Structure 1
Amino acid sequence: MEGTRENEQLTPSGYDPDFLPTRLPLPRPPRAVRELAYPRFSVLLDPIRALAAVTGVNIDGATLRELPRTGEWQLDPRIGADEQAGPEVYTRNDLDRGHLVRRRDPGWGDVEEARAATEATFFYPNAAPQAAGFNQSKELWLGLEDHVLEYAEATGQRVSVFTAPVLGDDDPPYRGIRIPLRFWKIAAWEGQAGLAAAGFVLDQSELVETSEGLLAAPPLGAFRTFQVPIAEIARVTGIDVGMLAAADVLARRTTRPVEWIALRSMEDITLQ
C-alpha cells in the first residue's frame, strides 16, 4: 500500500562526504533543490521537476547484506506531494518506478540498520520513471555498482555512487511531470593513485508514446548504456561535479577527446 507515513526510515544520516579517504562532497545542481537525508544516502530533489537532480549513496561492499525485499513505495512526508512524482505517474502504462539509489546499496553493516536503509530507498524522491522491462543494456546499468565494487575490492570495497535523471528541457511532458530520457551515474572509489571515478549514461529515448497517450517501450527494449567522460555529464546536466572530472579514469587514458562508449558487456567498461 502506498501513501505518506512517518517512519523510522527517516532517521537520517545521509550521504557521508568523508566515507572515502578523499573527501567527496555531493555534486551540486545549478538551481535550488530540497536536500533530503536518508540512512546512508541523500537525494537533492528538484521541486520544479518533482524528480531528483542528484542522489548520493555510500556503499561498503565488504559488509553488504543480502536482505529479503521489504519496503513499500510511499511519499516523503517532509515535502509536499506536488514536489515529488508519486503513484499517479506510474499507473496504466509501461513505466517502472526506477530506483535511483538501488535498494541493496545502503544495506550494509548492522542488520537492523541495513534493513532500515534498504526500506528507505522506497520513498518517491528516490524514484524516476523508467521504461518497463529489460534488455541487455538495462541489465548492464543495474549491475554497474556491483562491477565497480568487485574492482575496488583491493582498496576496501568502499564506493560512493551518484545517480540521477538528466533533467532536460526537451523531456516529454506526461501527467504533470516531464519524463527523463536519459540517466547518469558516477561511481567513485579510492584507487592506487588516489581518487578514481567513472561516468555512465543510460539512454531510454526510444521510449514511445502510443496513440492512447500511454508510454510504451519498443519490442527490443528502450535502453542503451554508455561509459562517458564525467566532464560530459557535467556539461549536459549543468551539475558541478567537483573533483570527480579530474578523477575520471576514462579521461586519464588519453589526451584526445573521448567519445561515448556503447557498453555491450562488463568487459567494455574502463576502470583503470
Structure 2
Amino acid sequence: MTWNGHDPDFLGVRVPLPLPTDGRPTRELLYPRFTVLLDPERRFAVATAVDIDGASLLDLPRRGDWALDDRVSDDEQAGSAVYSANDLDRGHLVRRRDPGWGTEAQAREATAATFFYTNAAPQAAGFNQSKDLWVGLEDHVLAYADATDQRVSVFTAPVLEPGDPPYRGILIPRRFWKIAAWATTKPGGEAALVAAGFVLDQSELISGATVAPLSGFRTFQVPVADIAEVAGVELGPLVEADVLAVESSAREHRWRELDSATQIRL
C-alpha cells in the first residue's frame, strides 16, 4: 500500500488538511489513509486527518506495537518515557479502526500504522477508556459511517496551549478537538459538505500526571469556527459546513455539553 495520507478529495468535496494559523514549523507525515501534522517543538500533532470508507470497513483484531517514526528525530516525538509508570494512556488521535478498510491486507497495514507515537497524545486513563466518553464519541461517528456506507473524514488533535501542565519534558494537552465531515447530495445532484465539531476537556483530570475523579471530564459539541479559534488551525470549508446553527455569540450558549453519544447532532 502507498502511504499517501489524507485525500483532500475523498468526500467529493475538497477538504484540505488543517494547518496552524501562526505559521509554526510542522512535519507532515503520510500514513495509509491518514496524515499527521506534527509540531516538533510540542512533540504532538497539531492536526490529523483520516479517511473512512464505511462501505468497506473491516473489524480486525487489535494488533500493533507503539514505536517511534524514524522519519523524524526522536526528540521531536513524545515516546514511551512519557507514559511509563503513571495513569496516562497512549491515546490514539487517528483511531486504530478508522483507516482499516479495503482488502484485509490493506486494512491490517493501515491499522498497524496508527501505533506510531506521532499519532498519540497523553490522556488520563478514564478519559481514553470510557465507552461513554472519548471512545463512545468515536464509536458513534464510526457506526454512522458503517451503517450508512458513508465516506467520512475525521480531523483530530490536542489543543496545544502554552499553559498546559509540564511533565517529563512535555506539556500535557488539557483539551482535544475532533471534527467529522461527510457529504450529502443536494436536490440538483451537487455534493454538499456537512461537518460536526467536538471539544473534549480533561483539564480537571490531570495535574502533571495525577488523575482526578472521572467526573472532571467534559465533552462538548461546538461550532467548528470555535475550534478554529481555540486550536489555532485553519479549517477552511469545514466552518461553513457546520451542522450547528449558532444563535448566540456567547460561547457558553454555543457549546452544547454532552452526557452521551446519543445527544450528538449529525
Mark the CA change 1:83 to 1:134 in structure 2 (over 3 Å): closer, same or farther.
Answer: closer
Q: Which residue of 1 aligns with 2:6?
A: 15
Residue from 15, 21, 29 that aligns with 2:20: 29
CA deviations on 1:2-48 (whole Å, 9 max, x unpaired) are xxxxxxx8x51211111101011111113221000000000000001
In the alignment, the residues of structure 1 paired with residue 215 and residue 88 of structure 2 have an alpha-carbon distance, to the nearest angstrom, of 12
Contact 1:199 1:229 in 2 (8 A): yes
Matched position secondary structure for 2:109: helix
Matched position secondary structure for 2:46: strand
The answer to whether 1:259 aligns with 2:254 is yes
Counterpart residue type for residue 112 of structure 1: A
The answer to whether 1:269 aligns with 2:264 is yes
TM-score by length of 1: 0.88
**1:152, distance to aligned residue in structure 2 (A):** 5.2
Counterpart residue type for residue 10 of structure 2: F
The answer to whether 1:99 aligns with 2:97 is no
Residue from 190, 203, 206 that aligns with 2:204: 206
CA deviations on 1:162-214 (whole Å, 9 max, x unpaired) are 000000111011111100000000000012441000000110001243xxxx6
Matched position secondary structure for 2:29: strand
Superposition map of 1:130-169 within 5 A: 130-134=123-127, 139-151=132-144, 156-169=149-162
Higher mean displacement: 150-159 or 36-45 = 150-159
Identical-pair percentage: 65
Residue from 79, 88, 105 that aligns with 1:86: 79
Q: Which residue of 2 aligns with 1:70?
A: 63
Mark the CA change 1:167 to 1:91 in structure 2 (over 3 Å): closer, same or farther.
Answer: same
Aligned pair count reads 256
Residue from 223, 227, 248 that aligns with 1:229: 223
The answer to whether 1:215 aligns with 2:209 is yes
CA deviations on 1:236-256 (whole Å, 9 max, x unpaired) are 111000010000001xx3443
Which consecutive unaligned segments of at least 5 residues does structure 1 have? Answer: 1-8
In the alignment, the residues of structure 2 paired with residue 25 and residue 145 of structure 1 have an alpha-carbon distance, to the nearest angstrom, of 21
Q: Which residue of 2 aligns with 1:3?
A: none
**1:77, distance to aligned residue in structure 2 (A):** 0.5
**1:146, distance to aligned residue in structure 2 (A):** 3.5
In the alignment, the residues of structure 1 paired with residue 107 and residue 129 of structure 2 have an alpha-carbon distance, to the nearest angstrom, of 29
In the alignment, the residues of structure 1 paired with residue 87 and residue 148 of structure 2 have an alpha-carbon distance, to the nearest angstrom, of 40
Counterpart residue type for residue 248 of structure 2: R
TM-score by length of 2: 0.90
Contact 1:134 1:221 in 2 (8 A): no
Mark the CA change 1:159 to 1:270 in structure 2 (over 3 Å): closer, same or farther.
Answer: same
Contact 1:41 1:55 in 2 (8 A): yes
**1:61, distance to aligned residue in structure 2 (A):** 1.1
Mark the CA change 1:153 to 1:88 in structure 2 (over 3 Å): closer, same or farther.
Answer: closer
**1:266, distance to aligned residue in structure 2 (A):** 2.1
The answer to whether 1:188 aligns with 2:186 is no
Contact 1:42 1:55 in 2 (8 A): yes
In the alignment, the residues of structure 2 paired with residue 164 and residue 259 of structure 1 have an alpha-carbon distance, to the nearest angstrom, of 21
Which consecutive unaligned segments of at least 5 residues does structure 2 have? Answer: 187-191
Contact 2:204 2:217 in 1 (8 A): yes
**1:224, distance to aligned residue in structure 2 (A):** 1.4
